[in-house]
Structure 1
Amino acid sequence: MTKPTNTGGGPLIALGCEGSANKLGIGIISHDPTTGKTAVLANIRHTFVSPPGTGFLPKDTAKHHRTFFARIALAALRAAKVTPSQLACICYTKGPGMGAPLQSVAVAARTLSLLWDRPLVGVNHCVGHIEMGREITGATNPVVLYVSGGNTQVIAYAEQRYRIFGETLDIAVGNCLDRFARTLAISNDPAPGYNIELLARKGGAVLLDLPYAVKGMDCSFSGILGAADILAAQMRAQDKILETEGPGALKEGETRITPEDLCFSLQETVYAMLVEITERAMAHVGSAQVLIVGGVGCNERLQAMMGSMAAERGGSVYATDERFCIDNGIMIAHAGLLAYETGFVTPLAESTCTQRFRTDEMLIKWRDD
């Protein structure tokens, strides 16, 4: 396809639709081909929050997205002060993610494309995170640590692909934290991982022994989660003993387990693993920059640990706040518009979605460095 022309002479504007998990996001962004500047015009998000001790089921999450899509899209248009006729394209998350929520948003994006007569652009969710992080932070060619509820990857760019150097062998680090939040019946509002972080800040008196599972450039988190669940069961047993027998009922030398120390120990262990494999990737590609993206990337302790490592190597860490690291529509709009500017569109007949869409499958045609 030929590169799109800007007949109006102004910036190209795209609307992005994200709904791969429990967050529904609609974002609108503009790229000015004359100045090279990018402007965030709207970034609206609505989260499906399940009760404490539970996760979010695909069918319930999909229903949430269907319920709120139209009103969030209208709110984004109002916030951006643009009309559908001003949009160059409609971008949506093609994958990866949860099947039913992805499908709901893909159908909604298709509807907008037909209703407004605008081309569709399917976007890789992971690439959206990376490109948004690069745009906001100004990182040039960093090693990327992508950490979220569904993904854990160490990535570096080479020859128009985002190459995966290491990843989780089982569950994602965000999923590990979310599932442990269920074990402790921690609130899911605003996010279970954030509430674990708050508890961890109050801990630190004891670093509990948890498995450390780094295998080459890869990590494993399921065993750590299992061990943390066992410690949580021991904590509940201790609480019962103390409740019935009073202070001093614990055995001599037995460590008093608290939710705060559990959260602290889990964070310290899993984040140390992530720092290790990221440092190894930096050494391999010769980069002094680390860009942390994805919802877990908001965690200040992870940023601090990564910052200490990078500083020792004479490097630096780049990260964004919750507006851009947590799933959002603006990252889909941005990555989609970058692809659209190279001439890429997704035909309506091919506007599918998939739970499996690896980061390195996407051709990064807009980069030639």
Structure 2
Amino acid sequence: MVIAIGFEGSANKIGIGIIKDGVVLSNPRRTYITPPGEGFLPRDTAKHHRRVILTVLKEALEQSGVQPNDIDVVCYTKGPGMGAPLQCTAIVARTVAQIWNKPIIGVNHCIGHIEMGRLVTGAENPTVLYVSGGNTQVIAYSQRRYRIFGETIDIAVGNCLDRFARVVKLSNDPSPGYNIEKMARKGKKFLELPYTVKGMDVSFSGLLSFIEEKAASLIKSGDYTVEDLCFSLQETVFAMLIEITERAMAHCGSSEVLIVGGVGCNLRLQEMMSIMTSERKASLCATDDRYCIDNGAMIAQAGVLEFGTGATTPWEETTITQRFRTDEVFVSWRE
């Protein structure tokens, strides 16, 4: 019976979760929200995390009913992510581990998403579509690694959606991607956009530049509404993602797809993926915003799996790595 606490703060969310034998006991988080038209800068995001992290830690302990003495291992996000938010979260995790005299494990953020998705959905060996503000990858497990079969060659899909939301001045509360999804449901007229799939990889920057340049004039002329443009953007980028996911499934002979990451909450993406998987007589595994969006429990889950193999992170290696690729991790807990 292992109890793990996980600290996640790689982007604009700070979350702390406590897990006991695959059961989430608590998982509070806070989101740094900027005004419409603005993104979040690393320095300001880190200030937000520093301001609220001890409050979130107190909530996590109170909601779980767990005492520090009961915790077996402290887990934190080592990377990838934004440097300043990662750093301040890691400092608190290291401090807590020393005060409580507990072992510590640095977790790959992407692996945290995958292992939380596998836990919540029961997926055994899925092809994984990992889509968030900072990452876009198609992944499958093979020989003790999560192999990247395809990825974005420029910006992540979540970043693409967020940046367009800024152009049309959508609110960042609760997230720009969620507000694009709401607007897209009202869109009726489709604008053809550049569709860039290169083998197993995708590119979003050209598509984003195209729609950013034309948005103001299209809306002003009355040819397209903001809702139409959100609809067109969403349909195009999701079609690209489903194409490369299906190609990876065919290559791996997979019968399951698992969608993880913040963009994975999008119901239209889940609907489009469901159509593809049902045509292939495969199954779709997806979660809601409790676990798709960055959270502490996913870091605790990935950490506890590694801890179960007897591994811990030496103190001199409890640093952060902004560019920490999914396939760099040796997956010792899977056969």
Q: Taking structure 2 as the reference length, what is the TM-score of the superposition?
A: 0.99
Aligned-residue offset at 1:235? 2.8
Give the letter for the 1:174 counterpart: G
| Aligned-partner Cα distance in 2 for 1:344–1:232 | 51
Give the letter for the 2:226 counterpart: P
| Aligned-partner Cα distance in 1 for 2:44–2:32 | 8
CA displacement 1:275-303 (0-9 Å, x = unmatched): 00000000000001100000000000000
Match of 1:216 in 2: 199
Aligned-residue offset at 1:236? 4.5
CA displacement 1:84-132 (0-9 Å, x = unmatched): 0100011000000000000010001011011111111000000000000
Match of 2:102 in 1: 118
- Indicate whether 1:346 and 2:330 are aligned: no
**Is the Cα–Cα contact under 8 Å of residues 219 and 225 in structure 2 kept in the other structure?**
no
Percentage of matched positions with identical amino acids: 64
Backbone CA RMSD of aligned residues:
0.7
Give the letter for the 2:204 counterpart: F
CA displacement 1:108-163 (0-9 Å, x = unmatched): 10110111111110000000000000000001100000000000000000011000
| Aligned-partner Cα distance in 1 for 2:281–2:66 | 44
**Is the Cα–Cα contact under 8 Å of residues 190 and 232 in structure 2 kept in the other structure?**
yes
Counterparts of residues 225-264 of structure 1 (less than 5 Å): 225-238=208-221, 256-264=223-231
Structure 2 segments unaligned to the other structure (5+ residues):
none
Match of 1:245 in 2: none
Structure 1 segments unaligned to the other structure (5+ residues):
1-10, 32-37, 240-255
**3-state SS of paired residue (1:290):** strand
Give the letter for the 2:147 counterpart: R
Q: Which of the numbers 255, 268, 273 marks the counterpart of 1:306?
A: 273
Counterparts of residues 155-174 of structure 1 (less than 5 Å): 155-174=139-158
| Aligned-partner Cα distance in 2 for 1:264–1:337 | 40
Give the letter for the 1:310 counterpart: T
- Indicate whether 1:90 and 2:74 are aligned: yes
How many positions carry a matched residue from both structures?
A: 335
CA displacement 1:200-236 (0-9 Å, x = unmatched): 0011x21101000000000000011111112212135
Q: Taking structure 1 as the reference length, what is the TM-score of the superposition?
A: 0.90
Give the letter for the 2:309 counterpart: T
Match of 1:334 in 2: 301
| Aligned-partner Cα distance in 2 for 1:293–1:168 | 16
